[in-house]
């Protein structure tokens, strides 16, 4: 088995739709919790990440320029992540196809995690 990270990408509009009211946020979280429970039952969930806030700073270049906030021109933002185990990238993508963010209009980026031998 190999390790993969799934990054949840969404627009600000998708986020507002999913979490816009306390009732909608509670509904959304129940769907996510059920999906995480299913991944856990199947032995696929290696590590659950935490949701990310929309604020941040970007440090870039050799001069280490610090910019407030995320890039406004970006069409989507990463809202969170999990680590999963799968036999290969194709299986990891199939696992990602069950992610609740897809039904809300978001997407999931699936990336293999390379082992580092330090």
What does the pLDDT look like over 90-115, one tens digit per residue? 999 999 999 999 998 899 999 999 98
CATH of the domain at 34: 3.30.70.1060
State which residues form the domain around 56.
Answer: 2-112
Q: Residue 106 domain-assigned? A: yes
Distances (CA, A) of 50 to 58, 82, 91: 20, 8, 23
Q: Is 54 within a domain?
A: yes
How many domains does the chain divide into?
1
11 close to 111: Cβ distance less than 8 angstroms: no
Phi, psi dihedral angles at 39 (to 5 degrees): -60, -40
46 lies in a domain?
yes
pLDDT range class, residue 36, cuts 50, 70, 90:
very high
Any domain includes 53:
yes
Q: What are phi and psi of 72, to 5 degrees?
A: -65, -30
**Which residue would you say has higher pLDDT here, 94 or 20?**
94
Q: Does 118 map to a domain?
A: no
117 within a domain of the structure (yes/no): no
pTM: 0.82
Q: What is the DSSP-derived secondary structure letter of residue 55? A: -
Q: How far is CA 82 from CA 5, 22, 35, 56, in A?
A: 6, 24, 12, 20
């Amino acid at each position: 088995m190999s390790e993969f990270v799934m990054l949840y990408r969404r627009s600000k509009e998708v986020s507002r739709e999913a979490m816009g009211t306390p009732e909608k946020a509670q509904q959304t979280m129940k769907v996510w919790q059920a999906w995480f429970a299913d991944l856990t039952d199947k032995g696929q969930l290696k590590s659950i990440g935490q949701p990310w806030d929309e604020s941040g700073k970007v440090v870039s270049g050799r001069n280490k320029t610090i910019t407030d906030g995320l890039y406004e021109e970006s069409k989507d933002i990463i809202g969170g992540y999990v680590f999963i185990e799968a036999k290969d990238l194709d299986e990891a993508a199939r696992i990602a196809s069950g992610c609740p963010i897809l039904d809300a209009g978001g997407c999931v980026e699936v990336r293999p995690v390379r082992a580092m031998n330090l």
